[in-house]
Amino acid sequence: MEVLIKLDRVTKTYHMGEVTVNALRETTMDVFQGEILVILGPSGSGKSTLLNIMGGMDLPTTGEMIFLGENLSQASDHRLTSYRRNEIGFVFQFYNLIPDLTGKENVELAADLVDEPLDVHEVLKDVGLADRMDHFPSQMSGGEQQRVSIARAAVKNPRLLLCDEPTGALDYQTGKLILSLLAKINQDHGSTVVIVTHNTPIGDMAHRVVRMRDGTIADIKENTSPLPPERIEW
Amino acid sequence: MSALNNKLWRTISKTKGQFIAVVAVVVVGVAVYIGMTTAYYNLNASKEKFYRDRNFADYYFQVVKAPQQVTKQIETIPGVAGVTGRIQKDVSLVNDFNKRATARLTSYTMPVEYEINSLQLLTGRFFAAETASQPGEPIRTGDIEILVDPQYAEGNLLDFGDTVNIVAEGKIVPLTVVGTATGPEFIYLMKDAGTLLPDPKTFGIIMISRERAEEILNLKGQINQVLISLVPGADADRVARQVEDVLEPYGNLASYPRKQQLSNAMLEAELDGLRASSRFMPAIFLGIAAAIQFVILSRMVRSQRLQIGIMKALGYRSRQVILHYTGYSVLVALCGAFLGTLFGLALSSFMSDTYAMYFNLPTTIGAVNTQAIVYGFVFSIVISTLAGLTACRSVVTINPAESMRPEPPKGGGKTLIEDWLWLWHRLDTAWKMSIRSAARNRGRFGITTIGVVFAVGMLVMSLFTLDAVDYMINKHYYQDQRYDYLVRFASPVKESELLNIERVEGVQKSEPLLEVPVKINFNGKSEDDVITGLEPGATLKRLSDQHEHPIEVPGEGMLISQRTINKLGAKVGDMVEVETLLGIGPSRQTPVKIVGISNQLVGGGCFVSLQQANLLLQVRQLVSGVMLKMDPVFSTGLEAELEEMTAVSSILSRQKELDNFNKNMEASLYSISVLVIFSLLLGFAIVYNSSVISFSERQRELASLRVLGFSIKEVSGILLKENLLQSLLGVALGLPFGYLMVKGYISAVNTDLYSLPVIIYPATYVYAVLGSFFFIIVAHLLAVRGVKQLQLVEVLKNKD
């Protein structure tokens, strides 16, 4: 499989006052095109930092992040913005919808950014929100908000979908529904899906599972027979 | 960008109170700008057109009398473009109600088009040059036709064919009104610089043919005034000196350039004031509006840090996000400029109507000033955009990844006041919270304080006009001028003749005076002024020095006016040469010592003893007028008796002047009220916005206090304290700032003719404080309405 992102000895250090936090230490790994990759680890293990660097939201302190052969580890803000705009879709744990926009408008907000977005209605229908898309986030359940969030990420038809604890704030059934949607996007559009979670069973749906501990990769496992999310139990 | 536009609309509708408040401030700024600029432009353009069309003179020369032919000689002087010689003389006028008034009889040679200061017919027809009567025959009603100025006609209900009687050369002459007319020198009609306001009942212009003027004033072939226009670029002073040389043999009385011509000077003073106001008032309002927008948008960017992070994560560029937020202020500017234009046009038409009441302009240009509208839009948009961009610049630094994490708490720490332990320990918790919160939000605190400073300053300035006028009335009419009547004679009379007046029933006291128009020369400089001779110990006219201390009329030497001594560059103790300019007898020159300075608010202000005034003219025991103190019961009788005396040229009644003054003040009350409302609005907008923001920022904290058991009243009390902290500081600084604004305004509009004193009564400061309490409390109450609806559980759950 072709490598989409190559991380080479990436470190990330934060300075918070007098405290220095080493969020990532010398992390090296690849993300392949079209795969579902699940990054597992307890909180503070550096998995969100890794996701942020992959998504161009943050730059590595040292090391290299290479996207389809282009080294983005020192990229300008302008280049990173284009990268996020054209290549990345984000799904967050707390949905992070714009409260002043309806579900549909939140999706349009992303669709407006790219030249050839998917059809907003179709995407909302795919996530099962055809009837609820004119509601504001405050009028929706958590699951509905997360579906808007996925639609918002998917509408740009990005090469890479980055999901930070997408089920973290949801109940069991709703969580499974969200994972199915992500798997469907992976299948239908061929988007690479990276899911960060502390919930180990979710790893069962992945093609590969990365375990992180203390800011570094503990191991990477390939999963030859990923389970459909409906069959995952936790 | 449609989704972003939707977001912008919803943001505005959520903050509509704030939006409306800041738009209102922009509306006032733009309306005042457009209204005043348009009024300025229109008034100025009307003036310019009138001056051009009617050949407004560049220089005036007054002589005792000179032959008409002298104008031919003046025409040959290089630099002179045109010359008109004419007769202009103040005569007593007995109108329909048998009341004494003054008319400025002005002669015109037909056809008037070629004259300098030609006249413009408004109603009726031109006077006939010919008369029905034969030379030597007495003049009968209907023989002499005249035109009068429209305000005099209106004030005295004169119509076509009506008769007015003047006293000329000791005889009553009937004149027939055939219409109304005006001229470029009669736009603002005041008798002289000593008059505070126009009073059409007691002063008017009579326009008459040259032939008839010569006849009734017994000045056959003579003129007493020369007007010249200059070729462009000519050296006015040099030309004037040459003209004076030509006129020397005929008794030069006065010469002055256009800018000292009374009507023009008053008009220019009004224009100057208008221009100053049209600049600084909009600057204040647009500036404060920008500051409010800055505060609103800074807060918005801070509170929507997460949303901005999401937008950036989605791929929006900082520029797009900044433009989105700046869109808020651009919309403020557009709404404000649009409504401001509508109000501004209404304001300019209101102002033009008011000017039409005071200024005699034949054509008032009522044009819509497109340039002012365009500038109004441009100014408000540019200022708002800059405020928006500045407030949103921190968008650039928001990192999408960091924005998802809770913002680290702001650097807390102690405030300065906490070091003053004795004070700090005496404050209750609410005060401590308020002080710390203010210290954390220093930018907003500062901007709110400055806004309140301006609002309070403007309140002081709006109310100041009343104080200044009250002070002037009090000083002029009650302190300086203690007589009830000032009677002036057409020409000086023997002091003994005053007995006729003194014996009139009800006269309690009379004191004579001799007014001598003079030219005061010192060190090559010269200034025209009027010297008044009073008896030492006179009580009906009080004099005061530059420190407002009462001073006596000196036995010898002269008290000189502050303005004249400044212009001459002389000082107390210097000898000046006084040259008399009275139209009778030859001009005399006498050295006089300056022994003090007299401070008169209005009119000329040089004083000598009555005896010294007589010496200046080399005469004895002459008086030109008398001041009377009356038992009010007999006023009507006195007036009637005085009207009968032909030697009397004018009767000034203090009561009537006061009435006229108060009538004129009513118009000012409108503009003062409008200014007060604008100031309150300004203060309200800034305090309201700051309170709303403070409330929304602290919702969680306040809800926690409610959960702890604080009552709604106690919670809003905390907000009120924070609010008062910044507002009261603003009020305290605003009062002295108001004083400075008044000083600045006065120096911008000061004229040669009069100066408004920088007088602000303590009561005005009290009113300004009360007014500011009003806007602070109203703004506070509206802003914290939400305290009652605080959803305790919801607010505590909500992480944004």
Percent of chain B having pLDDT more than 90? 39
Give me the residues paired with residue A90 across strands.
A162
Per mean pLDDT, which range of B173-187, B339-353, B468-482 is the poorest?
B468-482
Contacts of A105 in chain B (CB under 8 A): 3, 6-7
Contact status, residue B485 vs residue B630, Cβ threshold 8 Å: yes
Separation of alpha carbons B66 and B62, rounded Å: 10
DSSP-derived secondary structure letter, B634: G
Q: Average pLDDT of B206-213?
A: 92
Q: Average pLDDT of B343-360?
A: 86
Kindly report the number of other CB atoms within 10 A of residue B76's CB atom. Answer: 10
pLDDT exceeds 70 at position B392: yes
SS3 category, B789: coil
DSSP-derived secondary structure letter, A130: T
Task: Please tell me which of the candidates A16, A57, A110 has its beta carbon nearest to residue B401.
Answer: A57
Strands (E), B73-212: 80-86, 88-94, 100-108, 120-124, 145-148, 163-168, 171-182, 203-209
3-state SS, B289-305, equals HHHHHHHHHHHHHHHCH
pLDDT exceeds 90 at position B627: yes
State both tokens at B234: 């000519």
Q: How many residues does chain B have?
A: 800
Separation of alpha carbons B481 and B475, rounded Å: 8
Task: Please tell me which of the candidates B311, B315, B404 has its beta carbon nearest to residue A92.
Answer: B404
Q: Tally the C-alpha atoms within 13 A of residue B693's C-alpha that lie toward its C-beta.
A: 27
The pLDDT confidence band at residue A226, using thresholds 50, 70 and 90, is very high
Q: What is the pLDDT of residue B504?
A: 84
Give me the residues paired with residue B576 across strands.
B592
pLDDT exceeds 50 at position A56: yes
Cα separation of the two ends of chain B: 25
State both tokens at A39: 């990054």
SS3 category, B698: coil
Percent of chain A having pLDDT more than 70? 100
Closest CA to B726 of B445, B417, B321: B445
CB contact under 8 A, B3 and A105: yes
pLDDT exceeds 90 at position B667: no
**CA–CA–CA angle A64, A67, A71 (5° rounding):** 45
Q: B-contacting residues of A 92-111, CB under 8 Å?
A: 92, 96-102, 105-106, 108-110
Q: Average pLDDT of A34-43?
A: 93
- Pick the more confident residue, A35 or B476: A35
Q: What is the pLDDT of residue B751?
A: 64
CA of A54: which chain B residue's CA is closest?
B401
Separation of alpha carbons A213 and A8, rounded Å: 17
Q: Average pLDDT of B524-542?
A: 87
CB contact under 8 A, A98 and B310: yes
ipTM given for this complex = 0.83
- Pick the more confident residue, B640 or B330: B330
**CA–CA–CA angle B37, B38, B42 (5° rounding):** 120
Q: Average pLDDT of B414-440?
A: 78
Q: Average pLDDT of B648-663?
A: 81
pLDDT digits (tens, 9 = 90+) for B254-293: 888 998 898 998 888 888 888 888 888 899 999 999 999 9
SS3 category, B572: coil
Give me the residues paired with residue B104 across strands.
B90, B205
Per mean pLDDT, which range of B60-64, B280-284, B596-600, B778-782 is the poorest?
B596-600
Contact status, residue B552 vs residue B605, Cβ threshold 8 Å: no
pLDDT exceeds 60 at position A144: yes
Q: How many residues does chain A have?
A: 234
Give the best residue of B10, B11, B314, B795 to mutate against chain A (max A CB count within 10 A): B314
Contacts of B398 in chain A (CB under 8 A): none
Q: What is the pLDDT of residue B768?
A: 94
Q: Does B408 touch chain A (CB under 8 A)?
A: yes
pLDDT digits (tens, 9 = 90+) for B487-500: 888 788 888 888 88
Q: A-contacting residues of B 284-313, CB under 8 Å?
A: 306-307, 309-313
Q: What is the third-level CATH fold of A33-58+88-231?
A: Rossmann fold (3.40.50)
Give me the residues paired with residue B623 across strands.
B493
CB contact under 8 A, B7 and A98: yes
CA of A138: which chain B residue's CA is closest?
B798
Sequence-separated (6 or more) residues with CB below 8 Å from residue B87:
B105, B106, B107, B210, B213, B214, B217, B219, B222, B223, B224, B225
Strands (E), B495-563: 507-522, 525-534, 543-544, 550-551, 558-561
Q: What is the pLDDT of residue B338?
A: 96
Q: What is the pLDDT of residue B651?
A: 82
Q: What is the pLDDT of residue B517?
A: 84
Percent of chain B having pLDDT more than 70? 93
State both tokens at A95: 């949905």
pLDDT digits (tens, 9 = 90+) for A164-179: 999 988 888 889 999 9
Kindly report the number of other CB atoms within 10 A of residue A186's CB atom. Answer: 18
Task: Please tell me which of the candidates A58, A78, A112 has its beta carbon nearest to residue B401.
Answer: A58
Task: Please tell me which of the candidates A52, A82, A109 has its beta carbon nearest to residue B401.
Answer: A52
State both tokens at B2: 């449609």
Separation of alpha carbons B386 and B294, rounded Å: 9
Q: A-contacting residues of B 454-473, CB under 8 Å?
A: none
Distance from CA of A105 to the nearest CA of B (A): 5
| Type and span of the H or E element at A6 | strand A3-16
Q: Does B696 touch chain A (CB under 8 A)?
A: no
Separation of alpha carbons A230 and A205, rounded Å: 9
Closest CA to A90 of A163, A156, A195: A163
Sequence-separated (6 or more) residues with CB below 8 Å from residue B421:
none
CB contact under 8 A, B314 and A58: no
Q: Average pLDDT of A26-38?
A: 95
- Pick the more confident residue, B664 or B467: B467
DSSP-derived secondary structure letter, B249: G
Q: Does B314 touch chain A (CB under 8 A)?
A: yes
The pLDDT confidence band at residue B754, using thresholds 50, 70 and 90, is low
Q: What is the pLDDT of residue B231?
A: 94
Q: What is the pLDDT of residue B129?
A: 65
The pLDDT confidence band at residue B582, using thresholds 50, 70 and 90, is low
Q: Average pLDDT of B4-12?
A: 91
Q: What is the pLDDT of residue B800?
A: 43
Separation of alpha carbons B582 and B616, rounded Å: 11
Q: Mean pLDDT score of chain B, rounded to an integer?
A: 86
CB contact under 8 A, A16 and B408: yes
CA of B307: which chain A residue's CA is closest?
A98
Hunting for tokens 């507002």 — which residue is that? B727
Give the best residue of A53, A100, A156 to mutate against chain B (max B CB count within 10 A): A100
Per mean pLDDT, which range of A126-140, B267-281, B518-532, B656-670 is the poorest?
B656-670
Contact status, residue B101 vs residue B93, Cβ threshold 8 Å: yes
pLDDT exceeds 50 at position B412: yes
Amino acid at B404: M
CB contact under 8 A, B3 and A109: yes
Q: Does B319 touch chain A (CB under 8 A)?
A: no
Q: What is the pLDDT of residue B583?
A: 58
Domains of chain A by residue range? 33-58+88-231
pLDDT digits (tens, 9 = 90+) for B737-750: 999 999 888 887 76
Per mean pLDDT, which range of A135-144, B546-555, B787-796 is the poorest?
B787-796
